[in-house]
Structure 1
Amino acid sequence: MATTSASEQSNIDVSHFHHTPFYCEENVYLLCKKLITSGIAETEGSDLFVVFISNDKKQTPLWHQKASNRADGVVLWDYHVVCIQRRRGDHPLVWDLDSTLPFPSSLGSYVSETFCPSFQLFDDFRRLFRIVHAPVFLRSFASDRRHMRDPDGSWIKKPPPHEPIVAEDGTVHNLDEYMNIYAADANITSAKDFVFTQKHGAVIQENQLEEFFSQIS
């Protein structure tokens, strides 16, 4: 299937992609599949990476988020998930269905506007990134949405209309394995190998994000 270059992606309508508020992991799962089937991504999503953003305290500030009630669009998420596309010969692109920034945005612009690197954060708010190659994620990820239920079983947030995602091996829930991210696990040295080979990818620190994607061909 022919793919679309980065320059041809500038006018993509975000409303053409499925979005259920507060279910970013499922939104990105479906986003990856649609980018593949529409020809925007390579076959099997070989140029796509699913990126979980969180930290030890599960307090990650992101700016320009649709869920915010503030003028600067800042939200303190426990975790967030985006897709980063790294096409050969093109700059990395970030697909964030919850952002008010252009869809998609260049990685450099997204980092500048969403993470506000010049804004001095306390250590508890420093962001970490779990990067998983999309083909691995699409085979391995599962969620029965238990994290969105109260102790009495009622929904905290209305679930998506589609059936819960089940992994190829029959696993029904492993979201915690992806969204729990700790500084002690960050290792840029092994990141490139782990991202392509490990079910849970690799964890890196915020100042390593652009460097990591500059090294992916």
Structure 2
Amino acid sequence: MSAPYQPYYCEENVWHLAADPALAAAPRRVVFVSNPARQVLMFGQRAAGEVGYVVWDYHVVLLVDDAGWQVHDLDFVGGRPAPVATWLRASFPLTGRVPGHLEPTLRVIDADRFRDVFSSDRSHMRAPDGGWLAPPPPWPAPGRGTNLMRFVDVEADFEGEVMDLPTFAARFAAQSASSTR
């Protein structure tokens, strides 16, 4: 598997990874991690640095069912793929012990559907003066216009299914654990 990577453009990284021929035969889901406040506390991320955690407005990963659900998080320091349960423990070790506005909500979308409908003009990465908040990827932006924030908005009725972390864990981590026994 080789997919292009650009820091701070997780949605585009996953958009490319979801098209990787090595993963095409397996069921795949794209997962947007956000919440109504757009402040999700995550550990184990490259951007966390020495403090060990980062607060993302959103983050995007790919799930692949390869004898159990595996997470492909290109920003995860624990390697990839990682079993869902492993990724959840490392990424959200304080679940239930942090203020509610930092708890994750997840939007899960079929990967092929995501590839068909996702578009970004990268405007979310522009500063008020028009400069880049982070260098853009060298490849063309996917699609025309942008619907990125519709995916991020976990309160909107849009693509996929929105769920809390316990529901996500029950659905994807339980299958991951049972298939690795």
Is 1:77 paired with 2:36? no
Q: Aligned to 1:156, what secondary structure does the other structure show?
A: coil
Gaps of 5+ in 1: 1-11, 186-198
Q: Aligned to 1:27, what secondary structure does the other structure show?
A: helix
Give percent identity, aligned residues only: 32
**Aligned partners of 2:9 and 2:23: how far apart in 1?**
23
Q: Aligned to 1:33, what secondary structure does the other structure show?
A: coil
Map 1:154-173 → 2, pairs under 5 A: 154-166=131-143, 171-173=144-146
What does residue 178 of structure 1 align with? 151
Is 1:123 paired with 2:95? no
What does residue 195 of structure 1 align with? none
Aligned CA RMSD, in angstroms, stands at: 2.1
**Aligned partners of 1:118 and 1:126: how far apart in 2?**
7
Could you say which structure has the larger radius of gyration?
1
Gaps of 5+ in 2: 177-181
Structure with more relative contact order (C-alpha pairs < 8 Å, separation 6 or more): 2
- C-alpha displacement at 1:164, in angstroms? 0.8
- C-alpha displacement at 1:121, in angstroms? 1.1
Q: Aligned to 2:106, what secondary structure does the other structure show?
A: strand
Residue deviations 1:70-97 (CA, integer Å, cap 9, x gap): 25x211111100001124xx12100000
The answer to whether the 8 A contact 2:18-2:112 is kept is no
Q: Aligned to 1:68, what secondary structure does the other structure show?
A: helix
Map 1:25-64 → 2, pairs under 5 A: 25-34=11-20, 37=21, 39-42=22-25, 47-64=27-44
Q: Aligned to 1:82, what secondary structure does the other structure show?
A: strand
1:103 corresponds, among 65, 70, 80, to 80
**Aligned partners of 2:44 and 2:96: how far apart in 1?**
14
**Aligned partners of 2:79 and 2:10: how far apart in 1?**
18
**Aligned partners of 1:74 and 1:150: how far apart in 2?**
24
- C-alpha displacement at 1:137, in angstroms? 0.3
TM-score w.r.t. length of structure 1? 0.74
**Aligned partners of 1:124 and 1:32: how far apart in 2?**
29
- C-alpha displacement at 1:102, in angstroms? 2.2
TM-score w.r.t. length of structure 2? 0.88
